Structure 1
């Protein structure tokens, strides 16, 4: 069953492509999202706009899991921005920041994957519902990619810090 998108839904979808593209660019170029780079700032601005525009959308008529994931993504990104101001665990700041930004990117992708698989192709979507095997498998792969990516980031941060000492 195909669901059409409202004008706000189309706008939200287009806005959501901004943090997706900026995040992917950041991972490819900088090995992670860095709040001090142009792509990192673009990611953060796009994330905020994406989450804010999601609140005008709801197939259930109220707050749904996508909204909650969006708020969690914002909280993770905010923590990633401000973690360096916490004197506790100063040596872990680069690792925690990388994890938090990656976690926000992961969370941003979860509703996007669900909506995409349940809407495309329009005539016969790949996933019929949230329990669809293709949707669950794709989300499991997305989670595995997140775990692998954060492990690689931690290894890169560790090796970079080790060479500076």
Structure 2
């Protein structure tokens, strides 16, 4: 079959639900944030995905996937803290682009694990170092950068609300 453990399957289902919520928030609101139901679900499910990923050792001990899980948790914390500060300053940019960055982070193991398992018997990628896989991740990063730039411009163009006196 796909050579995936029951725990790995649960981890994957949580990750897919997170990505669906993240994309829904992104397309509906132009950003992922704690102010929407889809955004909150995305953040919590992404945190659960990163946390459960720390206990998967398909390729041996601690490795790049575990470092990415820790980085994801750190970026989620930074984005959440920045989002709590609110406003339209640097904290708003950090929150919006930070949450979007974690959506890009989902792409890396998603492509890697799927491409090294499917199609059965003749996977699309030979492993994490496969040049085609690296190219796809690079394209994903360029898409993230374009999306983040669009989000920053969208925030900059938004009408500013004067603080109450």
TM-score, scaled relative to structure 2: 0.89
Q: Which residue of 2 aligns with 1:105?
A: 103
Residues 57-100 of structure 1 show CA distances to partners (whole Å, capped at 9, x for unaligned) of 1123221111111111111111111114569x972121111111
Deviation at 1:160, TM superposition (A): 1.0
Residues 20-66 of structure 1 show CA distances to partners (whole Å, capped at 9, x for unaligned) of 00110111011110111101110111012111221221123221111
CA RMSD of aligned residues (A): 2.1
> Which of 93, 111, 114 is the equivalent residue of 2:112?
114
> What SS is found at the alignment partner of 1:119?
coil
State the 4+ residue runs in structure 1 displaced beyond 2 angstroms. 84-87
Q: Which residue of 2 aligns with 1:18?
A: 17
Deviates more, 1:97-106 or 1:145-154: 97-106
Deviates more, 1:8-17 or 1:60-69: 60-69
Deviation at 1:109, TM superposition (A): 1.9
TM-score, scaled relative to structure 1: 0.89
> What SS is found at the alignment partner of 2:62?
coil
Figure out how many residues of one structure are paired with residues of the other and give that number.
Answer: 162
Contact 1:84 1:90 in 2 (8 A): no
Which runs of 5 or more residues in structure 1 are unaligned? none
Q: Distance in 1 between matches of 2:32 and 2:109?
A: 20
Deviates more, 1:141-150 or 1:123-132: 123-132
Q: Which has the higher helix share?
A: 1
User: Which structure is higher in RCO with an 8 Å CA cutoff and minimum separation 6?
Assistant: 1
